[in-house]
Each structure stands twice: as structure tokens, then as C-alpha cells.
Amino acid sequence: MPDALFAHPRLAPLYDAFDGDRDDLAAYVAIAGELGADRVLDVGCGTGGLAILLADAGRTVVGVDPAQASLDVARSKDPAGRITWVHGDARRPAVPSGFDLAVMTGNVAQVFLTDDDWARTLGNVHAALRPGGHLVFETRRPERRAWQVWAADTAPVTRDVPGIGPVERRMEVTDVSLPLVSFRYTYRFPADGVVLTSDSTLRFRDRDEVEASLAEGGYRVLDVRQAPDRPGREFVFIAERS
């Protein structure tokens, strides 16, 4: 079940307003060009920010996400229907095969909490890629202890969301039981007084663990880079399907 932030019809439209311009996505468009990828699978595409940029760059894109409300937002940005939007889970995808590249941005790679779910996801992405295709994703470095920064930053943030009006968001860390970290977003809609919450849990895997899982899943790690928007705090893995 996807988090309410992505699945609730009143919360999914807020994602872009609170998540900013997502300058990090340009790096993925550049990597797609670097790898010569024409057909791209965006795993956990959310509200479609990266998929739209990839389509703008001339790529054929399929975006898959388990949250229908987020896909509805994504489709609204794609009136010409250039992108194929698939409602599905990466652990049980309903997508074609033969992709040159699969990507997982943001926290997508960390939402698979068990070894079995992560292995199943890697296996299904492997099946969707052509031989020699690539998987690119980012993951936060556990030694940087991002949850400590989150716990210290409890001030509310208010955004004026087009078509909705002002919305206030607060974040709190609710549990740290490494390698799992849980947190809650609370949204308040002043216009009607509604308060909604969204709970999330991420798994923090270190570099050795990620590389071992990729090797077991039939991938060869070609490069491990810094995330341009969070230098020193995240790894970007570039792996090739065997």
C-alpha cells in the first residue's frame, strides 16, 4: 500500500508544491543521454516530473507507480499522451520488456523494506531491461544519518498551492530502528480545517549491501556517483544488466 502522501487524492496534488523544482532530475536526463537510452522505464514515477523531462528529451517513456492519485497528477501534465502510465507495483510490474534504462529517483529504492521485496524488484526490473540495459537509482548514505537532520527541523512549512490555497506541512521522525527509519507528514488545510497525515518508512542500505544485492540480481556496477543535489549524502548507482 503506497503512503498517503502519494495515494490520497487530497495529498498527491501537493507533492510538487512542497518538493520544489527537483533540480536533481536533470542529472538523470543527462545519464540517459550518456548511456544512449531510447526506451526508459521510470519505476515509482510519482507525479511524473522525470518522465516528462525524459519525454521532452525525445525518449520513449513508461512510468509505473502503485499510487493512482499520483498517476492522475502525472497524466494531467501529459495531455498529448506521450508517456505510457502504468498503475502497478515494481514487485509485480505489468510492463513490457526491452527497455534500455530503468530509473528510480528520490526515495523509491528505499521504500522496499525487506530483502525479499528488494530482490523481487531488482529481478523484475532485470526482466524488463534488454541485455546490456542499465539500472540507475539513488539511495541515501546511512552514515550521514539524515534522520537526525529531519528530527531537528520541525518548523512548519506553508505553500500556496494553485487551485487549492494555503497548506501547512509539518514533519516528525516517529521511529529509528535501523536500518529502518519512520517519519510522518501532517498537512493542515486552513480553508476547511482538514488535517491529514502520511506515514512513511525507509530502509537505509550501505554501499556494500547495495552492491552485493545488485550482483546477486544479475547486474554489474559500472559507477557510483554523488547525487548532485545532495553531494556526500547519497549514492547514485549505475548498473548494467547481464
- Asked if 45 and 99 sit in the same domain, the reply is yes
- Asked if 186 and 132 sit in the same domain, the reply is no
- Asked if 185 and 91 sit in the same domain, the reply is no
- Asked if 42 and 61 sit in the same domain, the reply is yes
- Asked if 67 and 162 sit in the same domain, the reply is no
- Asked if 148 and 114 sit in the same domain, the reply is no
- Could you give the CA distance from residue 36 to residue 25 in angstroms, rounded to a whole number? 17
- Could you give the CA distance from residue 222 to residue 73 in angstroms, rounded to a whole number? 34
- Asked if 132 and 158 sit in the same domain, the reply is no
- Asked if 116 and 154 sit in the same domain, the reply is no
Domain count, the chain: 2
- Asked if 155 and 136 sit in the same domain, the reply is no
User: Would you give the DSSP letter of residue 93?
Assistant: -
- Asked if 129 and 158 sit in the same domain, the reply is no
Q: What CATH number does residue 211 fall under?
A: 3.40.50.150
Could you tell me what percent of the chain has a pLDDT over 90? 89
- Could you give the CA distance from residue 172 to residue 82 in angstroms, rounded to a whole number? 38
| CA dist list (Å): 67 to 9, 41, 72, 102, 187 | 10, 16, 9, 19, 18
pLDDT tens-digit profile of 154-194?
A: 899 999 999 999 999 999 999 999 999 999 999 999 999 99
- Asked if 198 and 212 sit in the same domain, the reply is no
Q: Which domain holds residue 29?
A: 4-143+205-241
- Asked if 92 and 170 sit in the same domain, the reply is no
pLDDT tens-digit profile of 46-95?
A: 999 999 999 999 999 999 999 999 999 999 999 999 999 999 987 676 67
With cut-offs at 50, 70 and 90, classify the pLDDT of residue 117: very high
